[in-house]
Amino acid sequence: MRLRSTSMPKLTGFLPGLLLALALVAGCSSAHYRRSADNEAYKIIQNVDHQVFGHTNAFSINTRYSGRDLKTIPPAEIIEDRSATNRRVLNLEQALDLAVTNSRDYQAQKELLYLTALTLTGARYQFGPQFFGSSTPQVSGTAGGDAAGTVNNQLGVNQALASGGKLTVTLANDLLHYFTAGLTSYGTRNTAINTMSVNFTQPLMRGFGFNNPAWEALTQADRDVIYAVRTFSRYQQQFAVDTVTAYFNLLTQKDIVRNNFRNFTNRVETTQYLEARSVDRERSSSVDDARTAELGAKRDYINSLAGFLSALDAFKLRLGLPLSEQLYLEDRDLKELIDTGILSVDIDRNAAFGMCVQGQMEILNAIDKFEDSKRKARIAADQLRADVNFLAGSSLSSDAPYDYTRFNMNNVNYNVGLNVNLPLDRLQERNNYRKALVDFEAQLRSLGLTLDNYKARIDSGLRTAEQNRMNYINGLEQLKVAQRRVENNVMLLEAGRATIRDVREAQDGLIQAQNNLATIYTDYLTARLGLLLDVGIIDTQPRKFWLLDPLTRKLNPGQRSPPPLRMPDNTVLSPETFLEPAS
């Protein structure tokens, strides 16, 4: 049996064109779809970036593996990569660049932003014209009897409307051909009919306009991208600050290791000196005391060195480097930080909180999510109403059997009507509405808690920064006293007017003062950067941002005020100043 194409000469137009279009769509590679998704998602992120911050930064989630065929990336390659034994000497700026490029957590945060934008493309798609097309050729019949060949083609477009309505336009092409072995002509039994139809549905009550759940899904997806862009910006700032403070903490630990080693070598020299004098001048107990102090200093040195190496491994993980790499940190950044000096933070606590509410990304998100909860409660309340849908449709078919290219407009079929669904069963909708009200209350509390937390963090940050500033000034004086004490006790020991215990206690005081001073400076930097981050005025883009003072150019005289814990440098205020109300 074969299909007699001579009976249907006009099939050469519609069907081949449709099949060609389907072939083109089916031929799109996975790489094409990937590029299409990336282009759309990146464009959304760039537009929102410009909308929120007034500028656009380059954004991509591609890594060095992204352009490769997945089958060409074996586990052995990853194992080899994580076993690299490179030798690397870093300064802080290089460490920041490496962290942004290699950090697993940083990459994961970028991918979260990308996936949020990708979700928005799906929500937008629901309100774009959605074309569809299909072709179903088949043969049916009975054994030894007549057989029929049919081709059902369909091409159309759906359009969802912001008002909640839906419009569908369809062109259907139904072809029918009878054929049987031995018969030469069944032309009168063949048909080729086109049908054009338009259908429109519009809710008039529940789900009308902005109360349309599908439109709400688009609105929320759009706002979610804004939240994600803000969250990622806040994460970038936090990531930069955390990397800077982790780097300086490591440099501080390096200083402490060196201090502990110098202390150990000094104790060795003291022991050797006393052992030489023990022949006729020093008691053996003094030598034992010195030896005990030497062993204690050796323990402290070994423990601090082990702690530094463990912290260095953790820093490699932060940067995304293989643990097998040999990593060394340059010391000049710490020297430059110390040479810059203590940058005071003289901002009024209320002014700081006001700036925080205006510029802190987490607070802005909390405020907008509070508004979201109001909108969702409104939409949930709308779902309790009756369904009243306006329906309209029309269709026009060509005349059988073959004249499917000409239409008689007098044969148009149409329908207009209403579909009413009374709200007799709204239990699920009732529960959803009540849940939306509960969610609103929860979001209200969440907003209040976010504001309180930031106010507490700002107050604590101001106190901590001032505390560390005063401790640094105090630490400088302690170091001077400790150095003089060691020098004096060593001279007195040589003159026989001091004991080894006096020298040991002086040396203990010196090493403690050195280590405390190294720690305090990094603590102050951490507190200052954390405060600027909480206030929402830090900019981590400029080079060496940790040495800059953004408050100087942002504050007017009315916004400046001494921190809550401020004391004159050489005066200690009584506790009543802080614990009791002013008279």
Q: Whole-angstrom Cα distance, residue 266 to residue 274?
A: 12
Contact 7, 190 (CB under 8 A): yes
Q: Whole-angstrom Cα distance, residue 397 to residue 261?
A: 96
Question: Tens of pLDDT along the chain (583 residues)?
Answer: 333 333 333 433 444 444 445 555 555 678 889 999 999 999 999 999 999 998 888 899 999 888 888 889 999 988 988 888 889 999 999 999 999 999 999 999 999 999 999 999 999 999 999 998 888 888 888 776 778 888 888 889 999 999 999 999 998 877 766 665 544 444 446 666 788 899 999 999 999 998 999 999 999 999 999 999 999 999 999 999 999 999 999 999 999 999 899 889 988 988 888 788 776 666 777 788 888 989 999 999 999 999 999 999 999 999 999 999 999 999 999 889 888 888 888 888 999 999 999 999 999 999 999 999 999 999 999 999 999 999 999 988 776 655 545 666 777 888 999 999 999 999 999 999 999 999 999 999 999 999 999 999 999 999 999 888 888 888 888 889 999 998 898 888 778 788 777 887 888 888 888 888 888 888 999 999 999 999 999 999 999 999 998 888 888 888 888 877 777 766 777 777 777 787 6
* 227 phi and psi angles, rounded to 5 deg: -60, -40
- 396: β partners: 196
Residue the block writes with tokens 């060195």: 305
pLDDT for position 186: 43
Q: Whole-angstrom Cα distance, residue 201 to residue 98?
A: 56
pLDDT for position 182: 44
- 203: β partners: 389
SS3 state at 346: coil
pLDDT for position 270: 83
Helix (H) or strand (E) holding 192: strand 191-203
- 155: β partners: 133, 171
pLDDT for position 194: 80
Contact 195, 211 (CB under 8 A): no
Closest C-alpha among 123, 120, 29, 106 to residue 60: 106
Contact 118, 45 (CB under 8 A): no
* Cis bond before residue 213 (omega within 30° of 0): no
pLDDT for position 342: 83
pLDDT for position 180: 56
Domain boundaries, the chain: 132-161+165-206+390-421, 216-368+441-566
Domain 216-368+441-566 fold: Outer membrane efflux proteins (OEP) (1.20.1600)
pLDDT for position 345: 85
